């Protein structure tokens, strides 16, 4: 009998956990991703704000499985699924047959019908997104230094972050820190302490996943760093010149989008029902209703918690789902017909504000300030893959802490002043 | 009296040394570069071959001068020089007036009239060049893994390096190492030990700047790593499909150009005589013959040694010239009318071959093998800027040495299999 073939699409937190959980099982595994690297997205904002280098938070996927001969890694893009013939269709035209399929293809940022904004307000999901934002941030200060008018100077020194979830809060804090603490001694024609960092949120508070007390603390901590926090203020337009909030237009050369995501097209490939954000509906075993052997997990699946709320789109949720699916596959291969339903265990929420404050919410225990910041740092180092990355990130942070200097302040790719795009 | 204004164009080894040498002098300095970073070019090939990360060998120029209030750093591109009115013309249209001008704008790789080859055989001068080559290298192995025919597989596993100077030798050695030692356990459909690395040189030997004995040793060391060394074989064509050597066509998906450089257009801006490679002719004080206050140094100047040979285009030569020019400027400001001529002190040649061999030529002392490799490594760490970079590079190398794993194996920018360009 031929070995059971599990195809996993997506090398993010969910996909890797499936492969990890199937270690030792009598299956052949093919892991497909259109990137050659797994990315530690929770620290991506630190690459965008020059604290970490790209290679510190990304690892070649195939290296992770060098010792697992049953795992084949393919750098390929998936274009569809042929459910009838049990095949994944690659955009190259080739196909990969499967017995069990796990789709863990994640999400992209979404502009809710305002796709034209993307050009002016890039989001943060990939390494390229991070180096794009880093380039724009650094070029804005360079342009301010060269500017001949006060208006041009101030427009370049105005940074608008849209969306006050964890990513938005973390970005705004880091930009304020960079402008007010790191850069001032380096510029001659401009005072970077005059930088305005605006955090614009349509909802009533920052960090809505936290308690109201922690949201209020975070708002204050941001304001202490010099961030202007605007709540209940939806953005009505983003242009090359700036951002419109209600009817007020603010000239700003750098706008960053941290306001929402849209699932990858997994549900479309499968022609299966999905929610408004494109997340596929899945049953209690995380497979789609019409096919027990096709699982969807992570940011591209719509899963409900026991309390009726959706499972949040965070790394621990994707990892739990990946581990669960691996167990279900093994259980079914062992001939068992019944599997317990997936149950999400919420481990808590963490977010940092600048370089010395953070908020942590572990249900009964809630922390703020320096202690929360240390827990945040240690947790993130712990979850990085491999000794080398842990040491490298710990070292980069220690260096920033001791010297006040960021190590990855490079403008690369299209780095001239004119053709940035 | 207004302060004397020195404008330095180019933040490479030469330009930085001028600024360094003018510390404490009664001058105002403007340093112009179209990049925001100084690049340690001697280790650029290690970024291209995944051993080092971009941020380990590049530093924001303006950070270097944060404590020197008299130094202004401009991220701008120079488009010409108005000698009559003593102004540097930026491509943005603005101008920067100067009293003394130092042009240290370096060189780019040159294709000797075959500019169409650049697309297929990229050179290695900037961080973008390095990440482009890294992407192509890594994608070639990925494509070999996906290839459906043996021909396609082998074409992807064939790497041609054109030019056997230090860069070519170092690139070829690292690619062979990667293919034969690092990658084999990670691929399932292809045996990366079947990789062909060809080092093609039109001249009679590798590393022509070294003695014949050291060249012969290097050739053997390369062959031991599995590199095919072809001498006296000029390349007659480079296409998307491969490379033509004499009348023989070899299918190869990855070609790297390390065969020659062309000076930046400084001589054209000045309308001053230059040599065949575009390097401006300069007098014994490194200024152009028609203007004592305009200096040209480094790879963009043609300077003769006492023995009638040209000063080589290496970092130590540029640094010596930069230091010399700073002394001349200070001496002239002090009212002295005579300055000694520039005299190049040759400090030796160093080159590595893979991860454990190297050649060193210090005139009377010549070294090969592991000892030369250690000297090479220590010398390069010593010349990096700043404690952090020294520690980071030392750590990356130690990690590679201990684990056999490269830390910067990322495919970024246009990373899909189709639209690589």
What is the DSSP secondary structure assignment for residue A108, as one 8-state letter?
E
Distant-in-sequence, close-in-space partners of A5: CB < 8 Å, separation ≥ 6:
A27, A28, A29, A30, A97, A98, A99, A100
Taking residues A248-254, what's their average pLDDT?
96
Question: How many angstroms separate the Cα of B17 from the Cα of each of B21, B127, B345?
Answer: 6, 21, 16
**pLDDT above 70: percentage of residues in chain A:** 98
pLDDT of residue B170: 96
The answer, yes or no, to whether residue B401 has pLDDT greater than 90, is no
The answer, yes or no, to whether residue B94 has pLDDT greater than 90, is yes
Return the residue of A nearest to B55 by Cα.
Answer: A408
pLDDT of residue A185: 94
Say whether B409 and A36 touch across the interface (CB within 8 A).
Answer: yes
Under 8 Å between Cβ of A7 and A30:
yes
pLDDT of residue B229: 98
> pLDDT of B307-347, one tens digit each?
888 999 999 999 999 999 999 999 999 999 899 999 999 98
Return the residue of B nearest to A418 by Cα.
Answer: B92
Lowest mean pLDDT among A16-20, A406-410, B190-194: A406-410
Q: What is chain B's alpha carbon radius of gyration, rounded to the nearest angstrom?
A: 22
H or E element at residue B214:
helix B212-224
Q: B127 to chain A: which residues are within 8 Å by CB?
A: 410, 412
Instruction: Give the residue with greater pLDDT, B415 vs B211.
Output: B211
Question: How many angstroms separate the Cα of A151 from the Cα of each of A135, A157, A251?
Answer: 21, 10, 9
C-alpha B211: how far from chain center: 22
Say whether A403 and B388 touch across the interface (CB within 8 A).
Answer: yes
Q: B37 to chain A: which residues are within 8 Å by CB?
A: 409-411
Under 8 Å between Cβ of B21 and B327:
yes
B410 pLDDT tier (thresholds 50, 70, 90): confident
Catalytic residue among B170, B186, B223, B228: B170
Say whether B415 and A76 touch across the interface (CB within 8 A).
Answer: no
Exposure string over B206-232, b if 16+ CB within 10 A, otherwise e: bbeebeeebbebbbebbeebbbebbee
Say whether B37 and A411 touch across the interface (CB within 8 A).
Answer: yes
pLDDT of residue A257: 97
**Cα of B356 to nearest chain A Cα, Å:** 22
Give the whole-angstrom CA distance, residue B319 versus residue B298: 8
B201 catalytic per annotation: no
Q: A148 to chain B: which residues are within 8 Å by CB?
A: 94
Q: What is the mean pLDDT of chain B?
A: 92
- Residue A219 tokens read as 């708002």
Of B56, B75, B138, nearest to A417 by CB-CB distance is B75
Give the whole-angstrom CA distance, residue B397 versus residue B235: 34
pLDDT of residue B14: 97
Give the whole-angstrom CA distance, residue A382 versus residue A183: 30
The answer, yes or no, to whether residue A152 has pLDDT greater than 70, is yes
Distant-in-sequence, close-in-space partners of B139: CB < 8 Å, separation ≥ 6:
A75, B411, B415, B417, B420
Distant-in-sequence, close-in-space partners of A335: CB < 8 Å, separation ≥ 6:
none
H or E element at residue B369:
helix B369-383
Nearest Cα to Cα of residue A54 among A43, A68, A69:
A43
Instruction: Give the residue with greater pLDDT, B63 vs A386.
Output: B63
Nearest Cα to Cα of residue B252 among B139, B152, B131:
B152
* Long-range contacts of residues B146-151, Cβ cutoff 8 Å, at least 24 apart: B146/A74, B146/A75, B146/A76, B146/A92, B146/A94, B146/B189, B146/B417, B147/B190, B148/A94, B151/B251
- Residue A200 tokens read as 């614009």
- A188: buried, middle or exposed (CB in 10 Å: 19+, 13-18, 0-12)? middle
The answer, yes or no, to whether residue B5 has pLDDT greater than 50, is yes
B203 pLDDT tier (thresholds 50, 70, 90): very high
Catalytic residue among A70, A77, A152, A170: A170
> If DSSP codes are grouped into helix, strand and coil, which group holds residue A310?
strand
Question: How many angstroms separate the Cα of A390 from the Cα of each of A85, A360, A384, A385?
Answer: 43, 21, 6, 7
> pLDDT of A84-111, one tens digit each?
999 999 999 999 999 999 999 999 988 9
**Cα of A293 to nearest chain B Cα, Å:** 25
> pLDDT of A383-413, one tens digit each?
888 777 888 888 888 887 777 777 778 887 6
pLDDT of residue B408: 76
Nearest Cα to Cα of residue B348 among B330, B332, B362:
B362
Nearest Cα to Cα of residue B387 among B59, B44, B16:
B59
pLDDT of residue A355: 82
pLDDT of residue B1: 57
Under 8 Å between Cβ of B281 and B272:
yes
> If DSSP codes are grouped into helix, strand and coil, which group holds residue A283?
coil
> pLDDT of A346-384, one tens digit each?
989 999 998 878 999 998 899 998 899 889 988 888 888
**pLDDT above 90: percentage of residues in chain B:** 81
Say whether A410 and B92 touch across the interface (CB within 8 A).
Answer: no
Say whether B407 and A388 touch across the interface (CB within 8 A).
Answer: yes
Nearest Cα to Cα of residue B32 among B55, B57, B13, B15:
B15
pLDDT of residue B382: 85
Exposure string over A89-119, b if 16+ CB within 10 A, otherwise e: bbeeeeebebbbbbbbbbbbbbbeeeeebee
pLDDT of residue B307: 86
- Residue A291 tokens read as 């096919």
B2 pLDDT tier (thresholds 50, 70, 90): confident
Cα angle vertex A311, ends A308, A317, to 5°?
Answer: 150
Return the residue of A nearest to B183 by Cα.
Answer: A63
Question: How many angstroms separate the Cα of A116 from the Cα of each of A150, A156, A306, B60?
Answer: 28, 21, 38, 33
- The DSSP code sequence of B331-349 is HHHTT----PPP------E
Exposure string over A42-73, b if 16+ CB within 10 A, otherwise e: bbbbbbbbbbbbbbbbbbbbbbbbbebebbbb
H or E element at residue B227:
strand B227-230
Of B67, B92, B399, nearest to A185 by CB-CB distance is B67
Taking residues B360-364, what's their average pLDDT?
90
> pLDDT of A32-47, one tens digit each?
999 999 999 999 999 9
pLDDT of residue A155: 97
Exposure string over A277-314, b if 16+ CB within 10 A, otherwise e: bbbbbbeebbbbeeeebbbbbbbbbbbeeeeeeebbbb
pLDDT of residue B418: 40
Q: A391 to chain B: which residues are within 8 Å by CB?
A: 395
Strands (E), B354-418: 357-362, 365-368
Q: B56 to chain A: which residues are within 8 Å by CB?
A: 53
Taking residues A189-215, what's their average pLDDT?
96
> pLDDT of A116-132, one tens digit each?
999 999 999 999 999 99
Question: How many angstroms separate the Cα of B183 from the Cα of each of B171, B221, B401?
Answer: 16, 21, 15
pLDDT of residue B414: 55
Taking residues B381-400, what's their average pLDDT?
82
> If DSSP codes are grouped into helix, strand and coil, which group holds residue A359?
strand
**Cα of A229 to nearest chain B Cα, Å:** 30
Lowest mean pLDDT among A27-31, A286-290, A375-379: A375-379
Distant-in-sequence, close-in-space partners of B74: CB < 8 Å, separation ≥ 6:
A145, A146, B30, B31, B32, B33, B96
The domains located in chain B, with CATH, are 4-34+76-109+261-333 (3.50.50.60), 115-259 (3.50.50.100)
């Amino acid at each position: 009998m031929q070995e059971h073939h599990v195809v996993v699409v997506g090398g993010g937190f969910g996909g890797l956990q499936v492969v990890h959980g199937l270690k030792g099982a009598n299956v052949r595994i093919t892991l497909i991703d259109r990137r050659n690297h797994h990315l530690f997205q929770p620290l991506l904002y630190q690459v965008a704000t020059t604290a970490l280098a790209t290679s510190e938070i990304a690892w070649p996927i195939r290296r992770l499985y060098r010792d697992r001969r049953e795992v084949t890694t393919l750098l390929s893009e998936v274009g569809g699924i042929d459910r009838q013939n049990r095949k994944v269709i690659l955009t190259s035209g080739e196909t990969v047959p499967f017995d069990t399929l796990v789709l863990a293809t994640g999400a992209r940022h979404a502009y809710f019908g305002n796709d034209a904004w993307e050009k002016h307000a890039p989001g943060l999901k990939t390494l390229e997104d991070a180096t794009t934002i880093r380039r724009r941030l650094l070029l804005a200060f360079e342009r301010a230094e060269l500017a001949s008018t006060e208006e041009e100077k101030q427009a370049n020194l105005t940074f608008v972050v849209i969306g006050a979830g964890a990513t938005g809060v973390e970005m705004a804090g880091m930009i304020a820190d960079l402008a007010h603490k790191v850069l001032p001694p380096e510029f001659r024609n401009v005072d970077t302490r005059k930088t305005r960092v605006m955090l614009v949120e349509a909802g009533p508070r920052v960090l809505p996943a936290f308690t109201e007390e922690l949201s209020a603390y975070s708002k204050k901590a941001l304001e202490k760093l010099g961030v202007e926090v605007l709540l209940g203020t939806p953005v009505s337009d983003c242009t090359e010149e700036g951002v419109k909030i209600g009817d007020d237009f603010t000239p700003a050369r750098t706008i960053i989008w941290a306001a929402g995501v849209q699932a990858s097209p997994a549900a479309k490939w499968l022609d299966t029902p999905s929610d408004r954000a494109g997340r596929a509906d899945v049953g209690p075993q995380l497979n789609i209703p019409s096919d027990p052997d096709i699982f969807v997990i992570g940011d591209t699946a719509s899963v409900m918690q026991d309390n009726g709320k959706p499972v949040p789109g965070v790394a621990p949720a994707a990892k739990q789902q990946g581990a669960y699916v691996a167990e279900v596959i093994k259980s079914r291969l062992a001939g068992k017909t019944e599997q317990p339903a997936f149950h999400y265990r919420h481990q808590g929420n963490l977010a940092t504000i600048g370089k010395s404050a953070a908020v942590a919410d572990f249900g009964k225990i809630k922390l703020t300030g320096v202690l929360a910041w240390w827990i945040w740092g240690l947790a993130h180092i712990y979850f990085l893959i491999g000794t080398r990355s842990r040491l490298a990130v710990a070292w980069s942070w220690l260096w920033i802490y001791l010297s006040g200097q960021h190590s990855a302040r490079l403008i690369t790719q299209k780095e001239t002043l004119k053709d940035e795009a």
